[in-house]
């Protein structure tokens, strides 16, 4: 107990002393201080299972290595994560894990983000040490509608089972059989009752659980990934958006302890389909004299829009701008200026569901409804209030067909061409959540960054802020055009917004981790 002389208890890892809190395990302290300890079955949110044995570390003074995920810290404990003994223990563990593993990385969706693959490159010998044939187990087993299980790839870490027991408490999964026939089994009903089931696909350290939606769609190294937030509801779960060649392919949760911990709901994860719609509007379009649509350049369309809006203002029809509740603060800010020039105000509409739960999903589906309210935008709930000159729509459910038709708008910014109502004369493409940058305020008043990727959506879509300010210049020559940085400075200081929880000022995404 030599170390107990220091005021705070410490453990020594690789020769350096680190403080720990009561109940800490070695792996927690190591990870907190950025020391890599390999792990498969350990997850910070769940009870340690200690079954994969890859986290073994050398305990100084002891001939036997120990698993770091279950080893409690005590004063005087000294471990090495990088010594020969630790490496040897890991290499031996890998040998066991690979005895029956198919190593079919070339056709496995996990390849590229699989630690089994990584460590087998690092520690494996490239040659099998056993000559017995590998055990045959079920492949392509459906677990509910969205998940596919491959028992041969499974390393029996039980993370998926523990997720359904400890996190969702729905207990759909268990381990069945034993020894080399051990495999994950599902209740005979074969359906998940939890709406968070797909988190087990992310949890699975190998390619044993794959998402039916994403599997075989793309190799990971061809995709672009950006840290962003889900816009499926006002919770604003932090996500990583993966896209390739104009299509969003995958949403995965990103850790944020204040918002979504490590998780997201299945509906939010799969709620990107509108971004890939076959009827996406990719270029501006203007109605000609006969009422037929013609493709236009942004310059032409801006001119036409300014003319249409000037006429609209002249006729003294409602000059409001009606926004989708998922629009960013920047977009709302500019919309407010545009509306003022048209003699109206910026308003928003957003769907309100009834499926909120105690965990993540909330009834408010407008990802920035809270931001709109903070900016003082009125909420449009029915067609009678929908009158507007300009529409800004990403999701159909926020500004549904009846509101669109009742608006009488002459200019529309739409993600999907099918959302343009008959009254509109100029239509601009509007990026989906995966293509736009900006700030959103979640249901808890936290300002979070929506970040777009150039790999999603039609190319060369100009942001609403830029186009709307061009129109403003045409309508009101005195307008100062602001770029996003200038807009952000204004937003951070704006009444109603200044008191919200903003991340530190920088153009970096909010609170990126893992």
* Residue ranges that bind ligand FES, judged by CB under 6 A: 39-42, 50-55, 67, 69
Q: Compare residues 42 and 143 and give the one whose CB is closer to ligand FES.
A: 42
Q: Compare residues 29 and 296 and give the one whose CB is closer to ligand FES.
A: 29
Q: Return d(Cα 413, Cα 391) in angstroms, integer.
A: 6
Q: Which stretch binds another protein (CB under 8 A): 55-63, 186-194, 248-256, 497-505?
A: 186-194
Q: Which stretch binds another protein (CB under 8 A): 34-42, 67-75, 271-279, 385-393?
A: 271-279
By CB under 8 A, residue 278 contacts another protein: yes
Query: Cβ distance 152 to 100 under 8 Å?
Result: yes
154 binds, among ligand SF4, ligand FES, another protein, none (CB under 5 to 8 A by kind): ligand SF4
Q: Compare residues 37 and 338 and give the one whose CB is closer to ligand FES.
A: 37
3-state secondary structure of 141: strand
State the DSSP H helix or E strand holding residue 425, giving kind and residue range, or none if neither: none
111: Cβ contacts below 8 Å, ≥ 6 apart: 105, 117, 207, 219, 220
Q: Compare residues 55 and 487 and give the one whose CB is closer to ligand FES.
A: 55
Provide the pairing of β-strand 66-67 with 78-80: unpaired
397: Cβ contacts below 8 Å, ≥ 6 apart: 351, 365
Q: Which stretch binds another protein (CB under 8 A): 139-147, 220-228, 356-364, 467-475?
A: 139-147
235 binds, among ligand SF4, ligand FES, another protein, none (CB under 5 to 8 A by kind): ligand SF4
By CB under 8 A, residue 310 contacts another protein: no
Number of residues that bind ligand SF4 (CB under 6 A): 27
187 binds, among ligand FES, ligand SF4, another protein, none (CB under 5 to 8 A by kind): another protein
Interface residue with ligand SF4 among 186, 203, 434, 491 (CB under 6 A) is 203
By CB under 6 A, residue 241 contacts ligand SF4: no
* Beta bridge partners of residue 184, listed in sequence order: 175
At 282, list the tokens: 């990719």
By CB under 8 A, residue 298 contacts another protein: no
53 binds, among ligand SF4, ligand FES, another protein, none (CB under 5 to 8 A by kind): ligand FES
Interface residue with ligand SF4 among 73, 89, 114, 157 (CB under 6 A) is 157
290: Cβ contacts below 8 Å, ≥ 6 apart: none
CB atoms within 10 A of CB 248: 23
Pure H helices in 36-114: 84-98
145 binds, among another protein, ligand SF4, ligand FES, none (CB under 5 to 8 A by kind): another protein
Which DSSP letter does residue 73 get?
P
Cα–Cα nearest to 396, from 277, 265, 263, 269: 277
Q: Compare residues 51 and 135 and give the one whose CB is closer to ligand FES.
A: 51
By CB under 6 A, residue 268 contacts ligand SF4: yes
CB atoms within 10 A of CB 140: 10
Q: Which stretch binds ligand SF4 (CB under 6 A): 73-81, 229-237, 392-400, 422-430?
A: 229-237
Q: Compare residues 286 and 375 and give the one whose CB is closer to another protein.
A: 286
Which DSSP letter does residue 391 get?
E
Cα–Cα nearest to 272, from 457, 96, 408: 457
DSSP letters, 13-25, are: ETTEEEE--TT-B
By CB under 8 A, residue 185 contacts another protein: yes
- Angle of helix 84-98 versus helix 115-123 axis, rounded to 10: 120
By CB under 8 A, residue 188 contacts another protein: yes
Interface residue with ligand SF4 among 154, 338, 372, 456 (CB under 6 A) is 154
| Smallest separation, CB 52 to ligand FES (Å) | 3
Residues 177-196 that bind ligand SF4 (CB under 6 A): 184
* Beta bridge partners of residue 209, listed in sequence order: 149
Q: Return d(Cα 9, Cα 74) in angstroms, integer.
A: 8
Q: Return d(Cα 52, Cα 49) in angstroms, integer.
A: 8
State the DSSP H helix or E strand holding residue 117, giving kind and residue range, or none if neither: helix 115-123
Interface residue with ligand SF4 among 158, 194, 448, 469 (CB under 6 A) is 158
C-alpha of 70 from chain center: 30
Cα–Cα nearest to 328, from 348, 305, 306: 348
By CB under 6 A, residue 360 contacts ligand SF4: yes
Q: Which stretch binds ligand SF4 (CB under 6 A): 199-207, 277-285, 381-389, 463-471?
A: 199-207
CB atoms within 10 A of CB 171: 13
Query: Cβ distance 180 to 132 under 8 Å?
Result: no
By CB under 8 A, residue 189 contacts another protein: yes
| Residue whose pair of structure tokens reads 């970040």 in the numeric block | 451
Q: Which stretch binds another protein (CB under 8 A): 87-95, 277-285, 432-440, 448-456?
A: 277-285
C-alpha of 293 from chain center: 36
Q: Which stretch binds ligand SF4 (CB under 6 A): 14-22, 82-90, 264-272, 312-320?
A: 264-272
By CB under 6 A, residue 371 contacts ligand SF4: no
The contact set with ligand SF4 (CB under 6 A) reads: 154-160, 184, 203-206, 208-209, 230, 232-233, 235-237, 260, 264-265, 267-268, 360-361
Query: Which residues are at the interface with another protein (CB under 8 A)?
Result: 140, 142, 145, 165, 171-178, 185-191, 212, 273, 277-279, 281, 285, 293, 295, 417-418, 420, 427
């Amino acid at each position: 107990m030599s170390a107990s002389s220091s005021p705070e208890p410490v453990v020594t890892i690789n020769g350096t002393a680190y403080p720990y809190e009561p109940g800490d395990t070695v792996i927690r302290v190591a990870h907190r201080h950025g020391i890599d300890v390999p792990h498969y079955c350990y997850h910070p949110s769940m009870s340690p299972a200690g079954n994969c044995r890859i986290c073994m570390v050398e305990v100084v003074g002891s001939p036997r290595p120990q698993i770091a995920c279950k080893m409690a810290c005590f004063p005087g404990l000294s471990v090495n994560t990088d010594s020969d003994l630790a490496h040897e223990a890991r290499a031996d563990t890998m040998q066991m894990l690979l005895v029956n593993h198919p190593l079919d990385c070339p056709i496995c969706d996990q390849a590229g983000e699989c630690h089994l693959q990584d460590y087998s490159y690092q520690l494996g010998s490239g040659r099998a040490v056993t000559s017995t044939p590998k055990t045959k187990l079920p492949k392509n087993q459906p677990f509910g509608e969205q998940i596919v299980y491959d028992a041969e790839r499974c390393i029996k870490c039980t993370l998926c089972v523990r997720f359904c027991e400890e996190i969702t408490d729905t207990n759909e999964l268990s381990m069945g059989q034993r020894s080399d026939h051990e495999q994950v089994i599902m209740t005979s009903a074969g359906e998940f009752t939890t709406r968070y089931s797909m988190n087990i696909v992310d949890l699975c350290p190998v390619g044993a659980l794959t998402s039916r939606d994403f599997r075989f769609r793309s190799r990971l190294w061809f995709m672009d990934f950006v840290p962003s937030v889900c816009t499926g509801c006002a919770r604003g779960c932090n996500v990583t958006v993966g896209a390739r060649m104009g299509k969003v392919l995958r949403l995965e949760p990103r850790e944020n302890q204040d918002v979504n911990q490590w998780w997201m709901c299945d509906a939010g994860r799969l709620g990107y389909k509108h971004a890939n719609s076959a009827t996406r509007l990719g270029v501006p379009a203007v109605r000609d004299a006969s009422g037929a649509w013609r493709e236009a350049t942004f310059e032409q369309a801006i001119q036409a829009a300014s003319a249409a809006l000037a006429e609209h203002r002249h006729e003294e029809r409602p000059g409001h701008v009606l926004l989708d509740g998922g629009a960013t603060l920047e977009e709302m800010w500019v919309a407010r200026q545009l509306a003022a020039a048209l003699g109206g105000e910026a308003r928003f509409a957003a769907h309100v569901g009834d499926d909120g739960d105690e965990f993540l999903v909330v009834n408010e589906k407008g990802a920035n409804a809270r931001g709109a309210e903070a900016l003082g935008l009125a909420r449009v709930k029915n067609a009678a209030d929908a009158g507007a000159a300009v529409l800004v729509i990403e999701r159909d459910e926020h500004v549904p067909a009846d509101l669109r038709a009742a608006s009488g708008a002459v200019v529309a910014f739409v993600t999907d061409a099918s959302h343009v109502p008959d009254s509109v004369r100029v239509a601009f493409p509007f990026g989906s959540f995966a293509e736009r940058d900006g700030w959103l305020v979640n249901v808890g008043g936290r300002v979070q960054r929506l970040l777009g990727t150039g790999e999603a959506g039609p190319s060369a879509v100009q942001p609403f802020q830029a186009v709307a300010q061009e129109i403003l210049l045409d309508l009101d020559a005195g307008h100062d055009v602001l770029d996003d940085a200038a807009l952000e400075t204004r937003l951070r200081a704006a009444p109603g917004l200044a008191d919200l929880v903003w991340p530190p000022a920088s153009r970096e995404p909010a609170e990126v981790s893992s």
